Amino acid sequence: MNKKITLMGMSQNELEDYCLSNDFPKFHGDQIFRWLYKNNNQELENVSNIPKKLKEKIKNDCDINLLKIKKKSISKIDKTIKFLFETKDYKFIESVSMIDSDRHTVCISSQIGCNVDCDFCATGKMGIDRNLKVGEIVEQLIEVKKNTNIPITNIVFMGMGEPFLNYRNVIESCKIFTNQKAFNLGTKRITISTAGVLPQIDLFIKEKHKYKLAVSLNAPNDLIRDKIMPINKKWNINKLMLSLKNYNFFRSRVIMFEYVLLNGINDSVENAIELSKLLKNFNCKVNLIPFNQILGNYKRSEDTTINKFAETLKKYNIRVLIRWSKGEDIDAACGQLATKHES
Ligand code: SF4
């Protein structure tokens, strides 16, 4: 039996090669690329600049899509929409669309599950199944775009999975997101968030990628970080900061430090002072994320504690933003993605 080729996720070069190897001129690869990523709303049948014979060939040879929307949950609190997708091998992933005036941010997944095992994270409790393919990453955006009809302005790799443990596919998908013939997003509109996978942070710096880097720090010292993020035992704060200094050297771009506030664990004024000392030489911004209660041992910090933590950082000249969660009523907030409705 002939195995079908999957178009979704293919680069322009790959599509051109596909055309050439089937005796069609190379430039049709460019047309398929534009159709696939810019005009996927349109049925292939109705695409006027692709010859009928090539359309027939594609129909016979290729699968186009990789994901199916299984469920769409819309928040009653804000306009957040959570998408549950089913993959071809019957696995589930989630993406979240968040609209804030003229900003439409889509939080996408990079893996099915995650094995980094951060103690406060619902996805971490699932373990890892597999990495997502380039096409599965890109198609999340296509489906969100189709279903919201609102132009996407920002992408954050903060959904399920550790993006730097699926490094190549994440970087390849970013190339499609920024390609003018596809999504045409600026590099600084894409944020890749890592829990601190050091070899890939170093590679990211070495390869001089311009996407924004976010580091999920969550603690001002190893004692606390070891407890809530086991990855810290492998690559501790000191090692992490040494690598990130290189990022600082090479670019003027700000590093985002994500900090989930956990009641009584990492949210005291002393913790804030220690954090500001740790970050004082970085061109950075701290995103404070009030914890979203999931099953487990952790509790959300009081709002007064959260505000006090932010004020302390400001006093020490650290730029800070409190990211009050979106879509909590549909379990779409940070750390809540876990495809619990798959059964
Ligand atoms: S916070 Fe991110 S890296 Fe940590 S377990 Fe959850 S998905 Fe994985």
C-alpha to C-alpha distance for 167 and 131, rounded to whole angstroms: 10
Q: Which of 108, 123, 287 to mutate to test the pocket of ligand 1 (most atoms within 8 A of CB)?
A: 123
C-alpha to C-alpha distance for 316 and 312, rounded to whole angstroms: 7
Report the half-sphere exposure of 97 (CA within 13 A, side-chain side). 24
From atom 3 of ligand 1, which residue's Cα is the shortest distance away?
162
What is the residue whose two structure tokens read 């010859």?
51
Domains of the chain: which residue ranges? 5-63, 67-330
CA-nearest of 74, 96, 76 to 85 is 96
Q: Are 339 and 114 in contact (CB under 8 A)?
A: no
Pocket of ligand 1 (CB under 6 A): 114, 116-118, 121, 123-124, 160-162, 195, 216
For domain 67-330, the question of CATH label 3.20.20.70 is answered with: yes
From atom 7 of ligand 1, which residue's Cα is the shortest distance away?
161
Q: Which of 109, 117, 125 to mutate to test the pocket of ligand 1 (most atoms within 8 A of CB)?
A: 117
So what CATH class is 5-63?
mainly alpha
| Active site positions, annotated | 94, 334
pLDDT in 10s for each residue of the chain, 343 residues: 558 899 999 999 999 999 999 999 999 999 999 999 987 767 888 888 899 999 999 999 999 999 999 999 998 888 899 999 999 999 999 999 999 888 999 999 999 999 999 998 888 788 899 999 999 999 999 999 999 988 999 999 999 999 999 999 999 999 999 999 999 999 999 999 999 999 999 999 999 999 999 999 999 999 999 999 999 999 999 999 999 988 866 666 789 999 999 999 999 999 999 999 999 999 999 999 999 876 578 999 999 999 999 999 999 999 999 988 666 666 655 555 655 444 3
Angle between helices 198-206 and 237-250 (to 10 degrees): 10
